[in-house]
A and B are shown apart, each in its own frame.
Chain A
């Protein structure tokens, strides 16, 4: 009996299945815990990375390339972490206060069944300080985002923001890590 039911073509089920599949596909990723599509997103782009005004030490070209790569990756991690509520995604790119504060934010999101989906439209980064011993780099980042705030699968609010961050990066073993990521009012 079971075999027959499994083999018998139930044509009336196809439209229903199609609707279900399309419906699932249109559901926001935040509605599918653990199945977020952040990995499928285009990588975060730095629209510009200006090292001309770095003081007191100029930023070497190779260092600039590393920082660009690592900073963009850090944003990628943060966006994925906030969307999928996985603080462990921060471990590779964040350290110190930044890791602690965002991990706490993610923990509270998870506890309250909340999430944030951020669509990144690019960053304009300007390095303002590079310490003489090379142990810290500060930059400002003007970024454009579309942010959707979710409770479960329900969108609570969407907004487009152009925002400015103050960033402090320090070199880790193999990469630059974000130590401070502080959003500041636009000057």
Chain B
């Protein structure tokens, strides 16, 4: 009799004067986008508050099992539930990988350059949360028809990165990152590196000038140096020095140097020197 009366009195006091704390229970973690159930002890209606990184919710609920929808738990982070002055916290963790943000650098790279191509992959679920559990990630860089280079790694805190050597062949290289079923591709243009060596030949033109012409200019991997690359031909004779800049066209650079009885001809592109020809005194 007495306990019942005491409960009744307490109930009336709770209802009229005080806010009696309900015990709130929540799971420790919830996957983003999945709903969960909050347990609030007692019965009757009350107000539930939910504060999180992606929202703030206020709802009249019935004590007991209170459903929170997945739509309200999309953003990863800590959520605090408050019911009748009592609170509990839980973490929303990222859902499975859905999207990779892939940053490749640079977009144009010389062939056969050491650790010249870098890629950073940021792993996201479908709600823009970083997926923090380590996930195997594969990076691959290859020009079509070439083996290329592949590197397997594991993400850490939602990020995976790689530094790769560029391939020996020039051309558009496919830089691909793969994790599970998700694949993202970038194109890195591999271009010939500096010329490896330049071979030049010389002929006398009908007007007496000296026609100079290179053999196809290639880098050390055998890639044709891009058209437009400047090659400098120089002639030094008793009258002085003459230099002509010519652009490589279809892999070959040509120029016409002033006529001379005896001259030393040389060729260079950037820091690479080619052969020398002693003109007039026997080549």
Q: A interface vs B, CB < 8 Å?
A: 56, 96-97, 100-102, 104-105, 108-109, 112-114, 116, 128-129, 131-133, 135-136, 138, 140, 147, 149, 151, 156-157, 159, 161, 163, 166, 168, 180-185
Partner of B78, one of A104, A133, A183: A183
Partner of A105, one of B29, B55, B132: B55
A121 → chain B closest CB, angstroms: 17
| Interchain CB contact under 8 A, B120 and A104 | no
Residues of B within 8 A of A131 (CB): 103, 105, 118, 120, 161
- A139→B54 CA distance, assembly (Å): 21
| Interchain CB contact under 8 A, B159 and A138 | yes
Q: A129-B159, A136-B103, A166-B157 are in contact. Are A182 and B77 (CB under 8 A)?
A: yes
| Interchain CB contact under 8 A, A159 and B80 | yes
Q: Which single residue of chain B is at the shortest CB-CB distance from A183?
A: B77
Label chain B's interface by main secondary structure: strand
Verify if B87 is at the interface (C-beta below 8 Å from A): yes
Q: Which single residue of chain A is at the shortest CB-CB distance from B118?
A: A132
List the one stretch of B8-16, B45-53, B137-145, B174-182 in contact with chain A: B45-53
Residues of A within 8 A of B157 (CB): 128-129, 138, 140, 166
16 contacts between A and B (CB under 8 A): A56-B118, A56-B161, A102-B53, A102-B54, A112-B56, A116-B51, A129-B120, A129-B161, A133-B103, A136-B120, A149-B51, A157-B85, A166-B157, A168-B158, A181-B53, A184-B77
Verify if B152 is at the interface (C-beta below 8 Å from A): no
B24 → chain A closest CB, angstroms: 10
- A170→B91 CA distance, assembly (Å): 25
Binary interface encoding of chain B residues 47-88 relative to chain A, with 1 for a CB under 8 A from any of its CBs, else 0? 001011111111000000000000000011110101001010
Partner of B118, one of A108, A113, A133: A133
Q: A56-B163, A140-B157, A157-B82 are in contact. Are A168 and B58 (CB under 8 A)?
A: no
Q: A108-B57, A133-B118, A136-B122 are in contact. Are A184 and B132 (CB under 8 A)?
A: yes
A161 → chain B closest CB, angstroms: 8
| Interchain CB contact under 8 A, B82 and A185 | no
Partner of A183, one of B29, B53, B57, B85: B53
Partner of A101, one of B91, B120, B128, B159: B128
- A96→B122 CA distance, assembly (Å): 14
Q: Which single residue of chain B is at the shortest CB-CB distance from A106?
A: B56
| Interchain CB contact under 8 A, A166 and B132 | yes
- A112→B219 CA distance, assembly (Å): 67
- A4→B176 CA distance, assembly (Å): 85
Which residues, 120 to 175 on B, are CB-close (under 8 Å) to A? Answer: 120, 122, 128-130, 132, 156-159, 161, 163
A58 → chain B closest CB, angstroms: 14
- A96→B120 CA distance, assembly (Å): 18
| Interchain CB contact under 8 A, A149 and B80 | yes
Residues of B within 8 A of A184 (CB): 76-77, 91, 132
Residues of A within 8 A of B55 (CB): 104-105, 108
Q: Which single residue of chain A is at the shortest CB-CB distance from B52?
A: A105
- A185→B89 CA distance, assembly (Å): 11
A52 → chain B closest CB, angstroms: 17
Q: Which single residue of chain A is at the shortest CB-CB distance from B87?
A: A157
Partner of A114, one of B29, B49, B77: B49
